[in-house]
Amino acid sequence: MLVDAMLNANGICSLDPVYSGDEISRLNRAVDDLLGTRALEKRSYVHVDELRELGMLETLLGDRMRDVLFSIMPDPVLYHCFVIETAGNDPEPNLFADTLAGWHRDRDCSFSKAEPTHVSIFVYLSDVGASDGAFEFVPQNPNERLRSSTPTVLVTGRAGYTFAWQRSYFHRASANRGPRRRRIAKISIQRNAFRSIHLSNEHFRSVLAATPSGDPATDLLFGRYQDKKPPRVDRPAATLRPYAIAPTGTIMLEDRALALGQFRMKGAAMKSDIKAALGLGNRLAYD
């Protein structure tokens, strides 16, 4: 099964490693000092422009990663590109812990039964066990009701472990109760037809300004075809195989709390969409 087909079927899949062990080591060494200055932050970032300055953007967006991105969708536009660290010794999820224990859908993403439209690729840059802030995911149609018995996936793995997931599904970052900061590389993409609010931020703007135009794949990834018909980008068939990730548990929250939380989320999403339609603000962008 191809990557896009497995994502459409299950919402999530693991992949053969995109980066070699040496590349993982070089990436970690490159960001160590910068993240060291941000060690007091509960959730710290190395943004796309900083990765470029560190000489690691070409590694992150190298041929193997591009093969993955273009195997998921024909016209991917970058959505996120950064390294994230989350603090250890934390009893709660580092995002949205006060709502459904951190479970949420991203309101700036769309869900389609026909094809993936908004996808993230995570690469663990540190070993992540069950207590180390492992990513959690609900592999069911995100429009279906959550129940206490709804299956969930806890994604653990050694440094270099790689997986992709649809951002419109329910997910959360579990509590990092371990002593070490959890580190991941995150690259997200969306279909070109969706307007990206992220490419206008200062981090992407500076990278775009410094990136020569003329290569169709690069121009597409950096949003130079937004509001235009994108070119067809022919790339070799991806050799990285997708693998199903089996459920590891259930959501284990009370059904009443789940129903109330989802009702409130739908109300907030409707308000956000109305504001965006009226030009009063953007749809919210999460994690």
| Amino acid in the structure at residue 283 | R
Pick 282 or 138 by higher pLDDT. 138
pLDDT of residue 283: 43
Beta carbons of 217 and 76 less than 8 angstroms apart: no
- Does pLDDT of 274 surpass 80? no
Q: How many percent of the chain have pLDDT more than 90?
A: 72
Report how far Cα 200 is from the mean position of its chain's Cα atoms: 18
- Does pLDDT of 261 surpass 90? no
pLDDT of residue 278: 66
- Does pLDDT of 281 surpass 60? no
**12 phi/psi in degrees, rounded to 5:** -155, 150
Stretch 116-137: mean pLDDT: 97
pLDDT of residue 286: 41
Stretch 134-156: mean pLDDT: 95
pLDDT digits (tens, 9 = 90+) for 214-254: 999 999 999 999 999 999 998 776 677 899 999 999 998 88
Which own/partner pairs from 282-285 qualify as long-range (CB within 8 Å, at least 24 positions apart)? 282/108, 282/197, 283/107, 283/108, 283/197, 284/107, 284/108, 285/106, 285/107, 285/108, 285/197, 285/198
Residues 6 or more apart in contact with residue 131 via CB below 8 angstroms: 175, 176, 177, 178
pLDDT band at 7 (very low <50, low <70, confident <90, very high): very high
pLDDT of residue 129: 97
Helix (H, G, I), strand (E, B) or coil at 146: coil
The angle, 0 to 180 degrees and rounded to 10, between the axes of the packed helices 63-72 and 3-10 is 50
Topology of domain 3-254, CATH? Jelly Rolls (2.60.120)
pLDDT band at 119 (very low <50, low <70, confident <90, very high): very high
Average pLDDT for the chain: 90
pLDDT of residue 258: 85
pLDDT digits (tens, 9 = 90+) for 60-111: 999 999 999 999 999 999 999 999 999 999 998 877 777 788 899 887 888 9
- Does pLDDT of 17 surpass 80? yes
The candidate with the shortest Cα–Cα distance to 94, out of 173, 181, 183, 179, is: 173
In the chain, domain spans: 3-254
